[in-house]
A = this chain, B = another copy of it.
Amino acid sequence: MTRIRFDEMKATIKQAFQKAGMPGDKADVCAQIHTESSRDGVYSHGLNRVERFVDYIGKGWIDVHAEPTLSANFGSMEIYNGNMGPGILNAIFAMNRAIEIAGKNGLGLVSLNNTTHWMRGGAYGWQAAEKGYIGICWTNTESCMPVWGAKSCGIGNNPFIMAIPHADGHIVLDMAMSQYSYGKLQVTRLENQKLPYPGGFDQDGNLTDNPGQIENSRRILPMGYWKGSGFAVMLDLISALLSGGLTTAGIDKFDKGSCGNCSQVFIAINPLKFNSQEFIDQAINETIQQIKTSELAEGTGEIYYPGEQSLKTRHKNMEMGIPVDDGIWARVKELANQT
């Protein structure tokens, strides 16, 4: 397996984005986020998404020059039009505004309509936590999962993120609504493995742990069966209603690639506005201790809090380099070096 240093990967991605027409400062930020995602082990939304992002720019589905513009302002809440600008830049802007509002008021909510794929949603949770804020955010997507009881896709696999700042390692949950991502299905199939638990239905409607059969049927399983399905519907509707933007059904009509014209919500809360650092640390530490001192289940070596494994992967990949698929890495280098 080839491993690439963070700085080399970022510089290469930045160059690819500049070659695609992005201004240098914007390309720098986007390259940073893509590289951080790969660094943290979210390979599917890091280096591996560079080519598709460049393709979307070429198709005119992303406007690399667009900036978010304020649509409405209600004290602790602001609504912005993302103007189809790069999803990463819009999302960073929105979470930063939510943090600024929360810095004054304790609580800030910023919504975005008409934005594009934000890549790894967890990035904006980590962003809030790095600044000492609780962050909650979600996005809707095009339909890519059957609602519970259906065999055709009708709902989005809308990621939901919650983050809590903590000096010893932020607590960050970054979960999509499906039990497994299509990326996980692909990787598992290529390794000739089965999924740890059923991840969808085969063509005949039977639950299966065979990743290839789920890729064929496109009947990926919502986490918790009906629960993840219902949660996806709520996240979709609330993101559209809070931003005045499109629902999954609306996104499907525009059909500008994955997450084109999507709606997003960013909430920031300043926990130090109403708690001492001592109280916060105690609450978090006693919770982590309670989790970690649980009696281990059969076959479990260690219990992790949400975000802990990302941090471990980050440290390892910063030390050893970030693992890449050779073909994908070669392709991104091509994009960076084309004339």
Contact of A241 among B236, B271, B291, B298 (CB under 8 A): B271
| Contact residues in B for A242 (Cβ distance below 8 Å) | 134, 269, 271, 274
Task: Using A74-B107, A76-B76, A106-B75 as known contacts, say yes or no to A244 and B151 having CB atoms under 8 A apart.
Answer: no
Size bracket of the A interface? 35 or more
A143 interface neighbour in B274, B275, B290, Cβ under 8 Å: B290
A224 CB-CB contact with B under 8 Å: yes
Q: Is the interface of A mostly helix, strand, loop or mixed?
A: mixed
Surface stretch bound by B, among A28-36, A171-179, A320-328: A171-179
Residues of B close to A258: CB separation below 8 A: none
Asked whether any CB of chain B lies closer than 8 Å to the CB of A286, the reply is: yes
Would B298 and A205 count as touching, CB distance under 8 A?
Answer: yes
One digit per residue, 1 when the CB lies within 8 angstroms of any chain B CB and 0 when it does not, for chain A 73-84 equals: 011110100000
B105 & A75 in contact (Cβ 8 Å cutoff): yes
Interface residue ranges of A141-163 to B (CB < 8 Å): 143, 146-155, 162
Task: Report yes or no: B75 in contact with A151, Cβ–Cβ below 8 A.
Answer: no
Q: How far is the CA of A336 from the CA of B37 in the complex (A)?
A: 60
Which residues from chain B contact A169 at a C-beta distance below 8 Å?
A: none
Give chain B residues whose Cβ lies under 8 Å from the Cβ of A271: 241-242
Q: Is B233 within 8 A of A306, CB to CB?
A: yes
Q: Counting chain B CB atoms within 10 Å of each CB, which of A179, A289, A291 scores highest?
A: A291
Contact of A287 among B225, B236, B305 (CB under 8 A): B236
Q: Does A191 contact B (CB under 8 A)?
A: no
Does A302 interact with chain B (Cβ within 8 Å)? yes
A109 within 8 A of B: yes
Question: When the two chains form their complex, are residues B171 and A283 in contact, meaning their CB atoms are under 8 A apart?
Answer: no
Q: Which of A269-288 contact B (CB under 8 A)?
A: 269, 271, 273-275, 279-280, 283-284, 286-287
Q: Which residue in B74, B223, B240, B290 is a CB contact (below 8 Å) of A106?
A: B74
User: Does A187 have its Cβ within 8 Å of any Cβ on chain B?
Assistant: no
- Closest Cβ of chain B to A164, distance in Å, is 5
Report yes or no: A105 in contact with B305, Cβ–Cβ below 8 A.
no
Please list 13 pairs of residues, one from A and one from B, whose beta carbons are closer than 8 Å in the complex, sorted by A's number.
Answer: A72-B274, A149-B303, A150-B295, A151-B297, A162-B234, A162-B238, A164-B234, A179-B225, A224-B224, A237-B287, A241-B280, A242-B269, A248-B290
Q: Besides A77-B107, A205-B299, 6 other CB < 8 A contacts?
A: A74-B273, A147-B291, A155-B290, A205-B297, A234-B306, A252-B290
* 3 nearest A-B pairs in the assembled complex, by CB-CB distance: A223-B224, A150-B294, A205-B298
